[in-house]
Structures are given as C-alpha cells and as structure tokens.
Amino acid sequence: MFSVIAVPLIDLLKGRNKKGIIEWNEECTKAIELLKNKFISKLILHAPDFTKPFILQTDASDLGYGEVLAQKDNKGREHPISYISKKFTSAERKYSTTEKECAAILYGIKKLKGYIGGQTEFCIQTDHNPLVWLKKNAGTNQRLLRWALALQAHNYTIEHKKG
C-alpha cells in the first residue's frame, strides 16, 4: 500500500516548522527507495469489462488500507483494474481491527463507484473473516451498523480470502 509506505514522508512534511527546515532520516530514505521501486515495477492494469463481475480485494493495517479492483478473464485469471490506498487519520487509527477492515471496504466502494456503483455486481474479498457476516448481522457496534446500512445500497457478496 503506497500510503502506508509513504507515512515517514507524510509525517516529515506535516511536522516541518515555519522556517521550512526538514529533518531527513534513514526511514525517509528507505521509504523513497521503496516507493521508487514500486512505481517502476511492472504493474499492468487492464480495462474493465462491465459485462463481468468485479472483485474488490481489501486489506487494512494499523497505518492504512489498500484496495485492488480486479476482474477474471475468460480463463479465470485475475487482472487488476485499479489500485488505491489511504493512510488512516489519527481518529481512524483508534478503530478496532474489524472497523479498520470495514472502513477499507467503504473507502474502496466510494473511490471506485464509477466501476462498482449502482447495480453492478461485485465480490468483496477480505482477509478479515468476521466481516463475512456483515451483510447478515452487524452486531451491536453502532459504527458497523451504520456502515452495514450504507453497504445495503450495493449489489455485492463478501468472502474470506486468507491473507
């Protein structure tokens, strides 16, 4: 996830003083090198086929979350269509693991609504097994209940994929 890798750089710029002095460190150098390698690596994105279902793969960590929107071709091979990621805000970092994973799903749907909004069928794949029951029962957590209601507007299935 690009936003998680970039955390040292973002924090560096966020904390600069009024004189514009930036204190570069080894962690920033590692982040820059890793980001450069990610950007030049071979990431082949495919054009979407709106006659086929989409797959939204989500994952969250303590620092942020990322999504891959993919589709299967006629031979059953998955091909990426879009990659997105986001760093958690300080408030979001306090979420439980289940809330972080669900926030990743909501963020992905919001950002990719041009592909999966409306009546388009799609499958959500998550490595967080407790989210599989979200469509049937969100429990008593008020935040998860609100998010489960927001997800009802979409035509999706959710499945666990070991990560």
Report the C-alpha gap between 75 and 16 in whole angstroms. 51
The model's pTM: 0.75
Q: Which residues of the chain have pLDDT under 70?
A: 1-3, 15-20, 42-43, 119, 138, 163
Residue 49: what residue type?
D
User: By CB neighbour count within 10 A (0-12 exposed, 13-18 middle, 19+ buried), where does 134 fall?
Assistant: buried
Q: Are 43 and 84 in contact (CB under 8 A)?
A: no
Local structure of residue 48 (DSSP, 8 states): P
CATH of 54-160, one of 1.10.10.10, 3.30.420.10, 3.40.50.720, 3.40.50.2300: 3.30.420.10
Distance of CA 115 to the CA centre of its chain: 15
